[in-house]
Amino acid sequence: MCVPQKQSERGVSIFVNQTRQGDLGGCHKTSDQKKMAITNKRNSGNDQIHSIGRDRGTRLLDYFVSFIQQNLFTMSFSSIVPELLPLISTSPLLYHAVIAVGGLDANRHSAGRALQGEKPPYVDAMTSYRTSMSILRSCLGEINVVQREDVLWATFFLGLFELLSDDSGEGWVKHMLHGTSKMLQLTGPSSCMSSPRRIFYDLFRVLEASRALLYNEETILSQECWLRLQKTLSSEETRWDPMEEIITLMIQTSAFSLRAHDIIENISEPERFTNLSVALLAAEGLMVQENIYNWHAKTLLQLFQDDTNEYLNLALLYYHALLIFLSGNYDYFPYWDKLQAPVLSPSEVSDHLVAILDLSADVLLHSKIPGVMLFFPVTVAGSRARSVNQKSKVLNLLDQVFCKGFVVANRVRDGLLIRWAERDQKASIQPYEIRNT
Domain boundaries, the chain: 29-238, 246-344
Which phi and psi (to 5°) does residue 127 adopt?
Answer: -65, -45
3-class secondary structure per residue, the chain: CCCCCCCCCCCCCCCCCCCCCCCCCCCCCCCCHHHCCCCCCCCHHHHHHHHCCCCHHHHHHHHHHHHHHHCCCCCCHHHHHHHHHHHHHHCHHHHHHHHHHHHHHHHHHCCCCCCCCCCCHHHHHHHHHHHHHHHHHHHCCCCCHHHCHHHHHHHHHHHHHHHHHCCCCHHHHHHHHHHHHHHHHHHCCCCCCCHHHHHHHHHHHHHHHHHHHHHCCCCHHHCHHHHHHHHHHHHCCCCCCHHHHHHHHHHHHHHHHHHHHHHHHCCCCHHHHCCHHHHHHHHHHHHHHHHHHHHHHHHHHHHHHCCCCHHHHHHHHHHHHHHHHHHHCCCCCHHHCCCCCCCCCHHHHHHHHHHHHHHHHHHHHHCCCCHHHHHHHHHHHHHHCCCHHHHHHHHHHHHHHHHCCCCCHHHHHHHHHHHHHHHHHHHHHHHHHHHCC
Rounded Cα gap, residues 236 and 169, in angstroms: 36
> Helix crossing, 195-215 with 179-187: angle to 10°?
130
From CA 14, how far away is CA 12, in angstroms rounded?
A: 6
Please compute, for residue 421, the number of CA atoms within 13 A of its CA located in the half-sphere on the CB side: 10
pLDDT of residue 85: 93
Global pTM? 0.84
Question: Distance between CA atoms of 316 and 319, rounded to whole angstroms?
Answer: 5
Q: Provide block-wise average pLDDT over 10 residues at a time, the chain (437 residues).
A: 44 33 40 36 42 70 95 93 94 97 90 63 94 93 86 93 85 74 86 91 94 92 93 88 96 97 92 91 96 96 79 96 96 85 96 98 96 96 96 97 92 94 82 48
* Predicted confidence (pLDDT) per residue in 212-270, tens digit: 999 999 999 999 999 999 999 998 888 889 999 999 999 999 999 999 999 999 999 88
